[in-house]
Amino acid sequence: MSDSGDVREAVLDDGREVVVKRGHAPGATAAEAAALRWLAAAGTVPVPTVHSHDRDRLVIDRVPAGRPSASAAERFGRGLAGLHTAGAPAFGAPPPDGPAEAWIGRAPMANVPADDWASWYAADRVLPYVRLATDAGTFGPSEAALFERACTRIPASAEPPARLHGDLWNGNVLWDGREAWLIDPAAHGGHRETDLAMLHLFGCPHLDRVLGAYREEAPLADGWEERIGLHQLFPLLVHTVLFGQSYAGQALAAARSF
């Protein structure tokens, strides 16, 4: 068994290798367990099996270590398209049995179902983090006003609610040599371009192969590349709240980009 603070590796009596995660806040383990099960139910991208959880700990399978490959990236792209297509009841919908007050990393994330993507994205995925960053002194009044103006220009979308991983940066995609696995989700119903924009933001091995296979499986609407900055607002603002000024400039640039 190795120990790295909140995450430990262990071997069960039957020889299975697992990861034991300690929840950082009340409800965090329940939210992650529900998210993993919801993603697994789509049957499209591998996720670790949830063995057990309580208010303090989550026990899941350990993903074998490997290297990314072009063929695995293509399978990941097709699987991610299938995951998104599996859908959600509404924008902002939590996973079944998942709490409404959830988390993305260590930042709070409210899952409040809504029918209209543009207004929901502004109200529940942009402005709450602008307020938190403003309260912390990272943004001033004029910068907060820029985000508020940007929210009035979010275009309407005809996309149905997709089943999102919700925190799809490179560190949450693990490669076992044959497949890409998803870990640490902040799953909810949302716009599928948001997951893809996060892959662009923080990089992903063989990203062109991932996107090419994704688009063959589920073509994207015209202009999706021009909307990348819009969808990156959410993760950039979350990172601004969690890590401060180092991400504030990128968040402001994303707001100005559309």
Residue entry with tokens 């499209």: 44
> Out of 61, 124, 167, 184, which one is annotated catalytic?
167
The encoded tokens of residue 234 equal 């959410």
- Indicate if 167 belongs to the active site: yes
Which two tokens mark 193? 């371009």
HSE-up of 9 (CA within 13 Å, CB side)? 8
Task: Determine the Cα angle at 13 with ends 21 and 63, to 5°.
Answer: 45
CA–CA distance, 98 with 107 (Å, rounded to integer): 16
> What are phi and psi for residue 200, nearest 5 degrees?
-65, -40
Contact 101, 108 (CB under 8 A): yes
**Residues belonging to the active site:** 167
